[in-house]
Amino acid sequence: MATEPVASQTPQVEVEARGDLPPGTGELARNKVLTLLDNVSEPVLSVRIRLTRTHNPATERPFVAQANLDVNGRAARAHVAAESMSEAIDRLRDRLALQLTRLRRHREAGRGSAPKPG
């Protein structure tokens, strides 16, 4: 069964940045995550993104990007670390795309839906 993308409002996106990050980083992350939502067939109720740079010299990948999406009551989450924030944001987008695909397949297979009365 093919599903059509839902024509809905853009969800409110909360972006939290911690640490010393380049200007425009939050907007870049917001835009990359929002582009994924064009192909989602269920309403996305909320999006939270957290971008962090740690200053621990022992950390090989000090840039961390996390996202939590509420897709019609189901969670899609991703957490990645990278050597640069732009790499972390790209990897976050890729990981979220995979999570959204899994949610769609799960729903299409009839799992995760409310039981049918009877």
- Kindly report the CATH class assigned to 13-108: alpha beta
pLDDT averaged over every residue in the chain: 87
> Is the distance from CB of 9 to CB of 47 less than 8 angstroms?
no
Query: Binning pLDDT at 50, 70 and 90, where does residue 105 land?
Result: confident
Q: What percent of the chain has pLDDT over 70?
A: 86
| Whole-model pTM over 0.75 | yes
Q: What is the pLDDT of residue 64?
A: 97
Q: What is the pLDDT of residues 36-85, one digit of tens each?
A: 998 888 999 999 999 999 988 888 999 999 999 999 999 999 999 999 99
Q: How far is residue 38's CA from residue 8's CA, in Å, rounded to a whole number? A: 10
Find all residues with CB under 8 Å of 13, minimum gap 6, and list them: 30, 33, 34, 47, 48, 49
Q: What is the pLDDT of residues 83-92, one digit of tens each?
A: 999 999 999 9
DSSP state of 4: P
Domain boundaries, the chain: 13-108
